[in-house]
Each structure stands twice: as C-alpha cells, then as structure tokens.
Chain A
C-alpha cells in the first residue's frame, strides 16, 4: 500500500531518504546477472514509482517517489556510490581547514539540459531559495547549519508567523563563476557529506522566478531529463546527452509508473509489465524469492527500526527507568521476529545507526543489551521494581495501522515483552501516520511508540544528532544528555572523518546506557526485476541505481 508518502514512511522508516546513486563505470556491486555487460542501450526501463507529493523542486522534495526522480534529473556537488561513499560530481573540490569555513569550486563548462551554464551563483541562489521560510520549502532545515539561517527563518514576535529578517543567508558568498564559500555557524565535520542530498542541487534562474511552473517541468543537469509528467500515471525520463558525470545513463530512459499499491506493481513485475520494483509488498514477502529466483534482491540500506520510550514517562526515568529500558530491550527476540514476520529480510540491530555507513561498528561497548535474554530481562525488571514498583499498568507500543506490517511486528514485540517480563503489554494502534505523529509531536504518548529512521545522507551523525541531540527536530522521546551532546559536538568539530566517527561511536556508548530508544533491526530493501533487464542493484538508501540498468 502506498497511499502517499505517509504509508511509505510507515512501512519502512522515515520518508525522506534519498540520495544519489554512485559513480557508474567502476561500480563493483552492480550485479551482472549473467548477461553481457552492455545489453541493449536503447531499452526504456519501467520502474516502480508513485506520484511525487510535491512540485519537483530540490528543497521541497522530501519523500521517496519525488526523490528518486529528482536524483536522476539533477547532479549535485557530489553523489553517493552504492556503498554510500560520496563521489564528486559538479564539485571540483570542497575544502576546509576548520570544519566551519568551506570553499567550494565547481567544474567549469557545466550546463543545464536547456543549455544554460551552471555557475556558483546557481548553487547559492538555490540554497537561499530553499532556506527562506516564506518559500515554504520542506527541506529548509537542511540549511540550518549555514550562518544566517536564523535570519531567513525568523519568526514574528508572537511565534505564529514566519517573518524572515533577511532574504539570503550571510554564510553564502559567490567568489567567482566557479567558486563560492560557505560559512557555518559552528564547525560541522560531516557537512561535506550532506552535499549530495537533494536539497543542495543547483537551480536555474527560471526556477526561482517561477517555482510553480518549474516544479511541474524541472530543467536539471542530471543524467536524465524529464520528458513528460502525466500526473498519477507516469513520469517519462530520457537520458540527458549533455551530462558527463559518473552516472551516465546506460539505457534509453526510465519511465516511473505511478502505483497506488505495491501489490499491483508486483503483479506487473511477475508478468514483465514492470522492469524494476523496490519494496516487495508484504503479501508476497514470503514468496518473492521463489517467484523471481535470481531476479530478486535483498539489500541492507541506511535505515533502522526502533521503539521510542519517551523520557517524560515517569516509570522510565532515573535508575529504575534505565533498568526497565534494558529489561525491555533484552526481552525482545529480534531474530525470531525477523525470521517469522520478515522472512529473514532484515538484520537484528547492533547499534543506533545502520551498517552501510562509513564508521559503522557492530561491537560498540554496551551493545550486548540488544541480545535476547529473557531471564536476564526479568531480573533487570525485578531490580527496577525494587527501586520503584511498576504500577501494573499495560506497557503499550503505539503504531500506525496504515503502515504495512507495523501491526504484526509491534504485536509480536509486545507479546515477547509480556512473556519475558510477566507484565501486560500490547500494541496501541493509530489509524493514520498523521495521527500518531500528532500524539508524538504533542508529547502525549502514554507508552512507547514504534519509530524508524532512514538516513538522509550516509553519515553516522545523521542517525544521532537529529534524533537524540537535546531539542533536535526528530527527538521524539525528548531525550537529553549533556555528555551525549558534547560527544556529538566533538565529533562534528573533528578534523577527519575517522576522528569524527570515533567520537560518534563513543556517543553511542552513552545511548546504550540510557536507551532513549530500543533498536530493533536494520532495514533492508527487497526488490526484483523483470526478464527484460539486467544489472539491477540498489544504492545505499535502498533505491535502485536506475542509470546502470540495461535492457537484455
């Protein structure tokens, strides 16, 4: 079931994930599937898609179906390869000495598909456009690290209306046609990692003059151009001959067919009416590998599932609260659920991030709290009760019904908690994702809630800062620990990625003690392709690498 990005978010994790696909030629992970490498270069690939929820503007595209189109239409400063490593595309170099001031040089002679040249100004203007609150771009928070963001996103005194005090961010400066500088409001070492994200794409002048019209028919600089967009039916993309980056199209185009349910798409895949499907529907998850044989794929991507236990719940505060969190974590048999419900298409979590990300470690001290041990769990629970007794209420896990599969795994986890700890536990359904978000947003949860995160860009920090930093945007459980915040800051201001990752993993050690959320498993993408195509692989974010797919 798709029914909007909401449900997608529901089923998998958060919605916003997107990223660029990796460099083409040397991609070692792309499968060959026995067909000779080149294949049919004029074959138009039909791919699973949905109606983009927003006009196709980079800073306004925050969901998967629009994102996968944008990533083919645009080329950013960099893109991510299949393993999530950033590869320079438009950028010639991104330099900094202090992790706060960056000098970005772009390649010269680059053009949009309509022939207009791409200069540093196109980037700066696009970012300023995306950040200015009156433009109401959903991704505007991506620019919050840049100096001057406060001014473009200022609120009126009563806090009710947007009242920007500047139209542009002071941290952005065009030096010449190919150079611009970025000043952040504080050092952030992973800033370069973010630059492959959709929000940071350049825009031609026309786009800023008339974003509405542009959003219907965007002109980009990516490996493909948008030939036509039949709303609710399909988006036709054809290769962009002027693109010369690493993601050159190896096929005759990509047609995204809009599906309302993945079930329908799966039937089309079975009968070769659809070439590539990512996200096998729940109804077929047990049989798709058998149905498709070597045309199927299960691949881990940068996403995870957790259970949030808000810190504002009395029973889960203090020492007793910490013991209870541990007890709950140890009472869930993750492998059993993955086995029975997800048909082994997921992997039990070992940390708070995801394995495809640079710096990932499966042996962070304290991670043994994620190992199932019913007896130990019971013991921890009893210890907690010795401090402050459990009031014998029911431990609930809130979930949204409109996300496929939520009910099954939440109920299973609740059951395991019930059996391991001998307390009452059950799933608490909400009809829609929106409703659940509303309760979470108002901090009105009376129990735990299911959650998930999909990386916006391949960085450990992206899995930690926005979720557990004090006052961060997606910190649903209101977690706050100054030591953790300090570790994050240390990581951000580190001189090298390795140093930074080390600090981030040390931050995770703190999380393992506090357990603001209970990690469950890492997400993986399931998918399949038709008899008519070859060379199908999925990127770090679970989206197929469309430009590499070839016809047979």
Chain B
C-alpha cells in the first residue's frame, strides 16, 4: 500500500494539475508516460446540449457544455440531482433513451463521435470509451457470471479465443485487486460484496484499455470504507493505464480525493470550471460557494462545537508520521487536539435524569422465517440517551444500526437484555403497551416519498397521529397542524397538497413534522437525509438541530455518514457487525478514537478539500498498514 501511496503522489507531481505540496518520492519509471502530448485532449466537448422530449416539448437537460479531458487527467463534473451531469455524459456514448435530442460536438482523439452510425458507435463503446455505473448490483447482469460478462466485452472488441479472453479477464480482475480472481471470475454479481462488484465492474470497463473512462457516481452506493478503497483503486489505475477519466459525482469528498479539474454544473449549465485547487480554495461562482458550504465536514463543527482536527487525532492514534505534513507541525496539531479534549472533558457537565432510552445488553433477532434461521442482528448493546441529548449511531451497512433504531420504537422484539423507553420496559411488551409508547416516540424514515401515504394531503398525514391518539381534533387539530408546518418552515397552504407535489426536502420536513406532532420525548431518525442532495440535506439538518434545541427532545440519529453525526450529535456510538464497538462524546470519539475500526472509519471519510484529503489518505494507508501488522 505504501508503494501505491507513493505512486499517487508521483502521479500528482507529473499530472496536469501541478500539486506543489507533494513531496519526496519522484515518479517511478514503471508508468508509461504518454502524457507528453498535452496539447491533444482525449475528449473534447463543444456546445453539447441535451434535451428530453416530454409531452411533446423539448425540456433541456444540458445546455452548451464545453470541456475537455486529457490522458491521465480526471475531470470531475459535480452537481446535484437534476443538474444534467449524468445525462450529458451518457450523451457522449449515445446511451440516452430515444426521447432525447443531442446537439453540439464531441470529439474523441479529434474524431467526431456524436452522430456516428450504430455500428461505428458500437466499436467505440466499451473499447475507446468505457463506463462505470453507480450501482454495481444492477449495472452487472445478475444472471451471468462476472467472468462471462468481462469475456463478452473482451471478445467483442478483440479477435481472441475464449481461453485467451479468460486469461485476460483474470488479469483484469487481478488488476482491480480482487482477492481471488479465479473465484470472482466464476461468481455471479450477487455473490460478491458491494466493493467487489464495483471492482469487477471496473475490471470490465477497463478490459479493453479505454482511452476515456466515464465514472458515473462510482462510489455513491458504497460504504465509506469501501468507497475509500475504490477511490484508491481508481487513483492507482489512472496512473497505470493513463486513461482520461470523467468523474460524475455529487460528493465533494470524492471530488477532492480524485479529481484534477472540476466542472460544477447546475440546471444544465456548467457554472464554473477550474483546477481542484481553484474550486476548493477560491470558488468564484456563488453556487459553487454555496455547494461547498453545504457539505458537512467531518470535524468541522458547528457553532456549538469547536472544530476538531481529525487528522491529527488519527495521527496520534496511529503514531504516524505523515510525509505530507511536517512532523513538527503535526506534533503541534496533535498537542492542541489533546488539549482541546481535556478541556471539553472538564467542561462537559454530567447529564442528569432518567435516560429516555436505555439498552442494557440488548440482543435483537430477526425471527426464523420458514427455512431461514433466526438471524441475530444486534448483540450485547448497551446504550443510554438522556433527555435533550442527541446521540449519533454510526455504522456501515449490516452493522445493525437501523435494527437498534427500530427496536427502540418497539418495531422489533428484543431477544435478550432489557430495553427501556421513556421509563417503560418494553423488553416483553405487548402490542397494546407499545401503542401507548409510540405516542412518546417519534420516527423519521429514510425515504420520505415512500413513508408518506400518497393519497393523503400532507396536512392529514401530519394530523393523523394526533387524531389517532385523540390529543386534538377539529379546530384544535388544524391549529396544531399549522403550528407544525410553521415549525418545519413549510407554508401553511401546503397542508392541502399531496406528497407527489412536494420536493424530497419538503417531504422530509413533513415527515419531521409528523414525527414531532405528539411532542415525543424521543425522536428516532433513520438516515433522514441520505436520500437528499447536499444543499437540501444541510437545510434539513439545520432545521432538525433548531427544533431539537427548541423542543429539547432526545434524539437517536441513525446514519452512515460521520460528517452528519459530527454536525448534530452530543454523543457518538459506533457499531460494527451487530456490536457497539465504541461510544463516547463527540470529542472523545473524534479527538481520541480508541478502536481500530473507529479510526479506520474516520480515516475513510473523504474531506472536501484536496490538501486535507491527501493528508487523510496517507494516514489511512498507515492505519491500514498498522491494522495488517
């Protein structure tokens, strides 16, 4: 891994964007240097416009785009949903549905490819230009083995025998660092983990040595530690293969980690382009500024919390020395971090009162279903939330965090231990008891679209719990609904609208209003912002924080996103494989993570700042190295 890290730096030094902070190791000679020809971009896009025919009208998705990408260069196209970043990139290969219209010019190595005939376009697809898609589970055909799909690509573009193709496919799988290429070759997509699938997808995309690689949100569906691995891999491969890469993403952290140049898109238009340095440190356009401001930084802190130098904390934990940071400087940062920790510990007042939620040695099982044996999703969980406290429950997929959240509202039975909610022991509660309990506990779900009844106006959705609990009706109920709409900053007139008339963020506000309608003592929020764009996420988080401070409910905030937890939480609980591995105050966890897993998790979060991300990357490599020892 160290060598790879070096390679990254080497690449940076030689890359099109001159990153002068890179130090030490010069580029090693094992990379073919085709970058000499800098004047000829691999991909040249001019005045590219995409329209979709909707109800006999042309609706623009991208307007007059201009950009170019050179070999070995990564161009990130950043934007929120609906910005046209994906559509414009798919247009390059003619992958848009038939109701689209594409104009302008796209030149690949100087050759116009936009309006090529089917046959010629097919020769380019997969061979000269390859694509990595977002969700590897659905992007790979579930009914064929990985090997079959790679061999299919190879034999399509190369006149080789099946055996040769097999050997080359295995080589590709080795190249993408799959632990057992033979096994992966024979595996169906569902038999691989998310990260392995994405590696296989990348192997397929790169199998014909493409000149241009379009990566459409390649890590969005992955856990943060897996995301970090895939980003490492892509960085590696860029250097080995010297392809031009167009990276489409909404995640500033990913951008900072990988890109040389950035194009920011909004509503079909590129509002700003520049090097990664320029965009992150000196954004010109206000949208870029707003976008960057909205990104939650891990360790950045909010008004209540001081910023935390997570890198320093991790460095201290790993006893690492970083090449990218001066040792003295690092020592100073580590010291100040420690001081701050001591300070916060002194400051922190011991929270008093009865816990609102208390788990003691709780185990939760998904009951046996037919032949599927019972599955113990959570084991030995101890956790307390006191009134007015926000506890962030963090973990990757499969860690059991959502299970804990569900059990807390009585949606899942407890198999062992005791679970107390608002002073009631619900370990062996009957459904009737739970009904009373649920009035004291609110829940906000991940997907606001599917958790609201599409046939009820949102006013009714909000009022329903109050009506059912018989706390208000008639005019009083209407008044409460209006108050709640005010609280979540939605216009009162929205009460008569239906969910489909609202945006995602607005729907989530409705969800929050409903959850708070009975003035719960505990709010369980399960990934409430994961489905939202960053800028929307920021406003929803702000709202949630404001309401929490105002209403003083306790909150269990379940999420995979450490930055979000950092933003909101008083305490952080880290889960891994059904167990709580570490918990403590925000500062304890961020400044002084004890567990290796917590450290790795923190290190894997990409920072939306190229420089800091480089430090972090290096640190992560060292942490992993320590872990392997």
A and B touch in the complex (CB under 8 A): no
